[in-house]
């Protein structure tokens, strides 16, 4: 087990290098730092001196890969590639183009993100499985049919509509909770209620429908028939047998996103004004802060790979036949 995890971690290194090369190519080769400076300073009226100054302040004035003017190891380390890409491996995110410390921002902003994403994830999982089990229990009846119709209709509605509609109905019309904003401590509850609710509701359609197919596939297996033949009640069959076995395919899709919960949700955080990593990313995109976007791409990949490893480990927990060798 330990050796397996170690091997997986080693295998993650070439992938992270690949991610790094892709982002490096995207950010520094497709467009030169000069282009970026020009866009930041305004394309029309920009002097060459301003560009040089802009690049110097942010450390973009070095050569891309190889520095002939330095000596020794400096030939490789005193370059944009080393400064901006290799240092990411040590989780040294450097400073944003606006001059803020990205590492500090990430450490402070991931908690509000988690405060929304974790409840949405947990409550959502319970709600989707409950709804899917309900449809599976009443399979081939009108409840099942209209449940699926409801799911298809709900997954056809844009996620933006849930947010705008929810804000309008609950926040503005009924005045139950503040429309947007965030506060630390227990007071955060008021602000979190609406985004969490909307997050859960907007996912019902696609998830409940997907889980329903998984349950229905399990329900037709031989062991389920055996369980019924033993005289178990349908409830007991569903909860003791079907649910446990259906957990394996469900885990594949679910565990992988757990680490990514730290990064929050772009749209929800932007709409509700929550100072998390999602809105951090959106702000960076809108102000064209390339350093932040680069850091987030790397962080996202790391978390995704951790999620993949966690998925493998979770298999051994729910399915004793799986051994990690």
Partner 1 sequence: MVWPFSRQAGDAAMPFKPVILWTDALVFVLVAAALLFAWYVRRHEHLLAPWRRVARSASGMAALTVLCFFIIAGLLDSLHYRPALPNQGGPRVYAVEVLSVLDAAVGPLRTQKEKTYSAPLATHLYARETMELPDGRQVRDYPRLKFGGAHLEDPEADRASDIARRTLYGVAAGAIAWLVAATLLCALIASRGGTHIDAAWRAIWRAGTGVPWRAVLITLGLVLLVVGPVIALSIRYHVLGTDKVGQDVFYQVLKSIRTGLVIGTLTTLVMLPFALLLGIMAGYFRGWIDDVIQYVYTTLSSIPGVLLIAAAVLMMQVYIETHAELFETVTARADLRLLFLCIILGITSWTGLCRLLRGEALKLREMEYIQAAHAFGVSHWRVITRHILPNVMHIVLIAIVMDFSGLVLAEAVLSYVGIGVDPSTISFGTMINNARLEMAREPMVWWSLAAAFCFMLVLVLSANLFADAVRDAFDPHVRVARPFSFKTVSAQKA
Choices 101-109, 151-159, 185-193, 239-247; region in contact with partner 1 by CB under 8 A: 151-159
Residue with tokens 């996103």: 257
Please, which residues bridge with residue 95 across strands?
Answer: 101
Q: What DSSP designation does 319 have? A: -
Mask for 242-281, x = binds partner 1 (CB under 8 A): ----------xx--xx--xx-xxxxx--x------xx--x
- Give the nearer residue to partner 1 in terms of CB position, either 67 or 202: 202
Q: What are phi and psi of 73, to 5 degrees?
A: -65, -20
CB of 213 to partner 1, least distance (A): 8
Task: Measure CA 192 to chain center.
Answer: 18
Q: Contact, 324 vs 1, CB < 8 A?
A: yes
Element holding 277 (H helix, E strand): helix 277-286
Q: Is 89 in the site for partner 1 (CB under 8 A)?
A: no
Q: Which of 240, 25, 259 has its CA nearest to residue 121?
A: 259
Q: Going residue by residue from 158 to 177, which x/- string records binding to partner 1, judged by CB under 8 A?
A: xxxx--x--xx---------
Q: Where are the alpha helices (DSSP H) in 167-233?
A: 188-219, 222-229
Tell me the three state secondary structure of residue 95: strand
Binding mask 49-88 for partner 1 (x = CB under 8 A): ----------------------------------------
Q: Which of 30, 102, 97, 104 is nearest to 59 (CA)?
A: 97
Verify binding: residue 26, partner 1, rule CB under 8 A. Answer: yes
Instruction: List interacting residues with partner 1 (CB under 8 A).
Output: 14-15, 18-19, 22-23, 26-27, 30-31, 35-36, 38-39, 43, 117, 120, 152-153, 155-161, 164, 167-168, 199, 202-203, 206, 210, 252-253, 256-257, 260-261, 263-267, 270, 277-278, 281-282, 285-286, 288, 290, 293-294, 296-297, 300-301, 304-305, 308
């Amino acid at each position: 087990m330990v050796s397996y995890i170690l091997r997986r971690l080693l295998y993650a290194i070439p992938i992270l290098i690949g991610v790094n090369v892709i982002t490096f190519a995207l950010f520094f080769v497709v467009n030169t730092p000069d282009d970026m400076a020009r866009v930041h300073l305004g394309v029309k009226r920009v002097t060459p001196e301003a560009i040089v100054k802009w690049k110097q302040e942010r450390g973009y004035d070095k050569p891309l890969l190889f520095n002939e003017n330095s000596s020794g190891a400096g030939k490789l380390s005193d370059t944009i590639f080393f400064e901006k890409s290799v240092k990411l491996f040590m989780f040294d995110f450097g400073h944003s183009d606006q001059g803020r410390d990205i590492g500090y921002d990430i450490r402070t902003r991931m908690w509000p993100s988690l405060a929304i994403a974790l409840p949405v994830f947990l409550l959502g999982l319970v709600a989707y499985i409950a709804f899917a089990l309900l449809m599976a229990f009443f399979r081939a009846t009108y409840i099942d049919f209209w449940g699926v119709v409801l799911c298809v209709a709900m997954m056809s509605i844009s996620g933006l509509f849930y947010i705008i509609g929810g804000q309008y109905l609950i926040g503005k019309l009924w005045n139950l909770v503040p429309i947007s904003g965030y506060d630390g401590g227990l007071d955060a509850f008021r602000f979190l209620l609406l985004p969490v609710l909307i997050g859960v509701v907007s996912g019902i359609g696609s998830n409940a429908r997907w889980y329903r197919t998984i349950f229905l596939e399990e329900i037709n297996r031989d062991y389920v028939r055996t369980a019924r033949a033993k005289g178990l009640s349908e409830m007991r069959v569903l909860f003791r047998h079907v649910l446990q076995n259906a957990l394996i395919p469900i885990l594949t899709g679910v565990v992988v996103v757990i680490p990514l919960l730290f990064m929050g949700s772009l749209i929800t955080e932007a709409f509700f004004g929550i100072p998390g990593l999602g809105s951090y990313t959106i702000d960076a995109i809108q102000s064209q802060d390339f350093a932040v976007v680069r850091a987030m791409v790397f962080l996202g990949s790391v978390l995704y790979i951790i999620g993949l490893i966690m998925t493998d480990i979770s298999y051994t927990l729910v399915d004793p036949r799986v051994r990690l060798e």
